[in-house]
Structure formats: structure tokens, C-alpha cells
Amino acid sequence: MKSAMGFEVQVIESSFVTPSEPAPRKGLWLSSLDLWLANQGHTPTIYLYSSSNDAAAADHFFDVARLKEAMARALVAFYPLAGRLGVNDADGRIEISCNGEGALFVVARADDFTANDVKKFKPSPELRRLFVPLIEPLSIILAVQVTFLKCGGVVLGTALHHAAVDALSAFHFFQTWSAFSKHGDRATLELPCHDRDLLRARSPPTVHPDALLTFYPKHTFFDLSGPLAIKVFTISRDQVASLKYLCGGGTSTFCAVSALVWQCTCIARRLSPDSEARLTFPADLRQRMRPPLPSSYIGNAVFYLGITSTGQDIATEVLGSVAGRIRGAIDQMDDELVRSAIDYFEMAEMDSRPPRGTLSQTVLHIFSWLGRPQYDADFGWGKPELMSLAESQCGGFVNLMNDDDGAGNGGVRLHMCMEAVNIKEMEQLLYAKLALAAFATRKGTSYDDYLSR
């Protein structure tokens, strides 16, 4: 395959990896939260690995046979990922047919690419086309592509269907696969929980009257009225610390960074003072239910929370107040809200169309992998230098990730896709406010007191 920029990736082999031991063969029922996210299709990601370390030099770097054997072992426990999406004959509901047909495994070479070339790419259709396998048929749930670069490095491209897993479930699988590759028989395994009945709707489904004030059931997408731009911003550990200090004790990184991004976006978009500005984000419900879901639950255990205010309020409020709005929405997520959301989606008509286009300029959607184990995928040759989404396709979407290469230094990497006409001002505002926050923190005063002088 050849990219629009002239880069070429050559596919060497394509095969299916099946579980190494007999696995259950059955139809796996999907919860309403699985079905709600099914239209998002496969989530494409890339992991970038360098061969310039002792572990890589000591062994055959990214040995394909070893990777396949480890995946076959991991698929014994994660057997639904070796199945196919299908439809239950009795009720027409989408399900996973656990048939053991296997995960798609592609091996490729990119003799034009170095690791530094890959690092320069932003999430884009081109990045996905080069390093994430083309999935045919679309009923395949898991697909990976191992691409060897001319510098000796490797790009691991992955695609997992959202009907089967959320982000935490996906990382659990990659941790397991990489552990089998690195440690073999000595690998420790946290068995996944496949009991999706834990998220079955109540009978009859019941939605609390106040639930829709907090959770946000559906985004509305519009055709593009102008070009979109994708930018990757980095926020250092010290800048994150300044933001959290200014937002008040106990403020999480997610709340502090999201408050900053939302405020800067509202200003850059020049929303009218009385416009209805909305922030939405997925929230994990595993620990919000009573009793809590097992931490090893495999499936979609998220839904969107929403916060609404006027554009003027978000643009002019102190940053700590905006962060407090976000924290307040999260704090309202209790068992009743979770059950109401599950019941709502069980009754709602599902949208089969994939999300395309852009959100309204009054809406910003932030999803976060902060604190997730995305850098734990060490197959025996070291942790990845970079882990990233391969494609960001919708305007108004922001992704927050740890920017620490697994080293735990506390930085944040921010992928943003928004209208090109506003993104430059958004960037200027973001870094200007970060600089002022750092200065005010050093002076021992609040950001807002400093600005008022």
C-alpha cells in the first residue's frame, strides 16, 4: 500500500491466529452499552517500538512466531476477540459469535520509514491506512499489523471493535498478550470477566427523571462547513502541577486539563455570551455500581456525562470553578444513574451510522486514557516509545493521554481535532494560560488574582 505522501508499506503475510486451546463456542449477549457504541466500529491505535536497547539486542526483535504463539495463548482467556460479530437468530440483536475463527495478523515492511518519521505523523486516515490492517470482513473483531521499519524499529497497529471492548478492556488484552510474549509460562494472568449480564437492563427498564440532566445519550454530527485541523499538544508535568494547584487541592489531572481545554476552546470559537456550551466525556462505571463491577470486566462499561452552561460563563469563570463543574458531574454518577443509562439505551433506537463530520461548535467531547496502562505492552523488547490513536475523524473531539513513555513523569499529550480556522488561536490561548499559571504558582498566588493585578 502507498500513502498520499509517497510512503509505501509492503504486506508480507496475512493470517489468522486462533486460540491455542479449546474455547467456549457460543453466542455472547451484548449489553445496551455495547450496542450503543457498536456504530463506532474498530478503534485504530499504534504502538512504536525501538530496537536500540539491550533487551532488543539480546533476542530476535519482534519475532513473529513468538508473537503469534503468545496471542494464541491470550485468546484462550479472551476468546470473544477470536470470534465474529453476528446477529442472534431469535431476536435479531447483535451479538458476538464465539466461533474461534481467530484474530487477523498482518506482517509488513516499510523500507521508507524510520521511527522518527512515524513520530511526525498526526492521527489521520493516512496513518491508519499505513499501519493498521484493512479489515475484511468487518465482522472481524481483532486485527493487528506488525510493520518493520528500515531503522530496525517496529510499529504495532491494532484495531479492536468497540462493540466488544472499551479502552480499559482493550488494554487488559494487550497486557495479557505482551506478558505471554515476554514471560511465557511464567506470565501472570488476571482472568477477564465476560459476564455481560452484569449490565443487563432492569425489567421493566426505568429511567430516573433527573438522569438525562447528567448523562448525555447521543452526539449530533454535522457536515463540514470548512476544513478540520488536527494538532497534538503536550503539557509538561510541571504545567499539569500548576493547573492542579490553581484548581484547588485534590483536583484530578483530568478535571484540571479538561477545564483548561474547554475554556480555551469556548474563547477561540467566539461563542455568543448566551450560547449553550456543552462538554461531554465518557465516564467509567465499574466502581460506580453497587456492587461494583469486577475490575477485569470485559466489555463497554462507559457512557457519556454532559455539562452545560453559557459560553460566557465558561470563558470567564475562574479555572477552578470550571474544573469544579466537571468534578460535580462525575460525583453525581451513582448506581441509579448507571442503571438509568443502561435502561435508557435498552429502550432507545440505536444509530447504525458511523460518526462522521463535526460536532456543533458549542460542543466539545473529551475522552481520556489518563492513568490507563497503554504503555504496559512490553512484549519482551522494551516498552513502546509512543502509543497513539491512528486516526481522529470527527471535529470537536479531544483525546487526553499520558505523555510519559511509560516512565510516569506526569505529562499529558492532547490530540485535538477541530475547525482549522480556530485551532491556532486555541493553541495560543492554551500555552499562554499555562505560562501564566506556572508564573502565578511560582509567586504563590492564584492565577485569577494574578490576572486581576
Where are the domains positioned within the chain? 10-199, 218-372+391-443
Q: Considering all CA atoms of the chain, what is the largest pairwise distance in Å, rounded to the nearest integer?
A: 70
**pLDDT value of residue 450:** 46
pTM above 0.95, yes or no: no
Flag residues of the chain having pLDDT under 70: 1-6, 53-59, 393, 404-409, 445-453
CATH of span 218-372+391-443: 3.30.559.10
Residues with Cβ within 8 Å of 337's Cβ and at least 6 positions away in sequence, in order, are: 208, 211, 214, 215, 288
**pLDDT value of residue 191:** 94
Q: What is the pLDDT of residues 142-197, one digit of tens each?
A: 999 999 999 899 999 999 999 999 999 999 999 999 999 999 999 988 999 999 99
Residue 99 sits at the vertex; the CA angle it makes with 73 and 130, to the nearest 5 degrees, is 70
Q: Residue 291: is the preceding peptide bond cis (ω within 30°)?
A: yes
Tell me whether domains 10-199 and 218-372+391-443 share a fold.
Answer: yes
- Bridge-based pairing state of the strands 94-98 and 276-284: unpaired
Chain-centroid distance of CA 353 in Å reads 20
Task: Give the catalytic positions in this structure.
Answer: 162, 378
**pLDDT value of residue 59:** 66
Which of helix, strand or coil describes residue 161? strand
Which of helix, strand or coil describes residue 108? strand
CB 146 within 8 A of CB 108: yes
**pLDDT value of residue 453:** 42
Between CA 151 and CA 111 the distance in angstroms is 8
CATH of span 10-199: 3.30.559.10
